[in-house]
Structure 1
C-alpha cells in the first residue's frame, strides 16, 4: 500500500501567515510614519526658527543705521509698518552759519569718497518725521558733491539758497537717498524701499507664517536721557506650534 504524503500549505496556514505579515507591516509602517512625521515637524520648526532669527536680525541691523528721529510706525493699506530713512553719509559741518547758504561743507565719518545720487537729501537737526518733508526748513536737496580743501572734507551743493531753521549742537548732518518700510501684512513680513521722489520698489518677502494679530512694532521716541527705542514682537505660527520673539533696539544716532 502506497502512503500519501502531504504537500503545500493549507488555507488556514496561508490565512495565518497573511495576518501575521499584515500585523508586522502595519507596525513597521506606523513606525516609519512616526519617524517621518517627526522629521518633517523638526525640519519645519527649524525653518521657522531660522527665518525668525533672520527677520529679527535684519530689522535690528538696518535700524542701527537709521537717520535720527526718522522712524515712524503707521497702520495703512500696506499693513502695520515701521518706516525710517537709512543713513547714506554722515559727518560734521563747518559752516559758520546755516542762513542763506547754498553749500554744506563738512567732514564725513566715512573714509570712502561719497558718490552723488539723484534725489540725495541732506537733513540737519531733525526732531520728528515731519522734519523730513520737502517743505521743511530742516532738509535740502543735494545737486552735486565736490572735494573740499582739507582731507576728507566735502562740499555738498544745494539746489539754491537755504536757511535751516535750527542747527545741530554737535554740528552733525545726515545724507539719505531713500526710506525703508518693514510691513506686517497677510501673515508675512516685507521690506520696501521708497526713493526720495516717491518711487517704490516691489516688496521683498523676509518672513512668512507670522500671526499678524500677535505681532507689532512699537516706537518709544527720543527722550532727554536716551535715544529712541524700537521694539517689536513677532509671533510665528505653523502646524499648530507658535514661537514668539521680542526684540528692542536703541537707535544711537542723534541729531
Structure 2
C-alpha cells in the first residue's frame, strides 16, 4: 500500500519565511556592498581629479622665475592670502659672464636661445612685496627686454637689453620669460590662464579648467612670513562631491634661486 507524501501547510509557511529572511539579508548585503563600492569609486575619482590639479600646479611652479610668484585676490592685489596665484614660467636660463650692470650681456649659450623683442631677461629677481617683478626688485631694476641676440661663438652668446641691471646675481644666473600664468579658484573650480607678458590677465578670464567641486573658502593660496621663505607658497583646497570630501594642504616650493 502506497502512502501519500507531501508538505504540510506549516512546512510551506516556514520555508517561505526562511526564504524571505534570506532574501532580505541578501539584498541588504548586496545593497551595502554596492553602496561601499560606489562611495569608494566616487572618492577615488575625486582624489584623482584633485591630484591631477595639484601635480600640474606643482610642476609648473617648480619652473617659475624666482621672485615672480605672487598671491593675489580677485582684484589682482598682492598679499599673504588670496584666491589666485600668478607666476612667470622660465622660457630658458643660463649663467652670464662678467657683469650684468650694463646694456650688454654675455652668457653661456643655453640649449634654448632667448628670443629678440619677445623675451624679458631677469637678473637677481628678489621681489619687492609692494611691486610686481617688472616694476622693480629689492635692489632696483632686475628685468629688461631683449632687443638683440647675437650668434653663439665658442660656447658664449652675446645679447643686448633695453636697460642696465642694478645688481649682479651672486650666482651669475640669468632667466628669460615671455609668459605669465594665473591660477584662480572661482565658482568652485580651479582655472589656469596664460598670456604673454605685458598683456592684461585677470581672474575673470577662463582658459583651462583644472579641477572642480572645490568648497568655498576665504582664500586658497597663502604665505606665512614666519614659517615660509620667499620660495614657498601654501595651497589649501578642499574638494567635495556626493558627500565625499578630500582635503589637500600642501607647501609648493620653487626649485630655482635668484
Using the alignment, how far apart are the partners of 2:226 and 2:163 within structure 1?
27
Residue number in structure 2 paired with 1:7? none
CA distance in structure 1 between the partners assigned to 2:248 and 2:219 by the alignment: 9
The runs of at least 4 consecutive aligned structure 1 residues that moved more than 4 Å come to 17-33, 199-202, 220-223
The 1:134–1:119 alpha-carbon spacing in structure 2 relative to 1, beyond 3 Å, is: farther
Q: Which entry has the higher C-alpha Rg, 1 or 2?
A: 1
Q: Which has the higher strand share?
A: 1
Offset from partner CA, 1:26-55 (integer Å, 9 cap, x none)? 766655544443332221111001112112
Aligned residue for 1:209, secondary structure, equals: coil
* TM-fit CA distance, 1:165: 1.9
Aligned equivalents of 2:64 and 2:226: distance in 1? 13
TM-score (norm 2): 0.75
Partners of 2:229 and 2:251 lie apart in 1 by 14
CA deviations on 1:153-183 (whole Å, 9 max, x unpaired) are 223333xx42222221222111001111111
| 1:82 counterpart SS class | strand
Contact 1:94-1:171 within 8 A present in 2 as well? yes
Which ranges of structure 1 fall in alignment gaps of 5 or more residues? 1-16
Give 1:127-138 correspondences, 5 Å limit.
127-128=126-127, 130-133=132-135, 137-138=141-142
Q: Which runs of 5+ in 2 are unaligned?
A: 1-14, 77-81
C-alpha RMSD of the superposition:
3.5
Take 1:221 and 1:106, find their aligned partners in 2: how far apart are those partners? Answer: 34
Q: 1:95 to 1:220 in 2, by over 3 A?
A: farther
Q: How many residues align?
A: 237
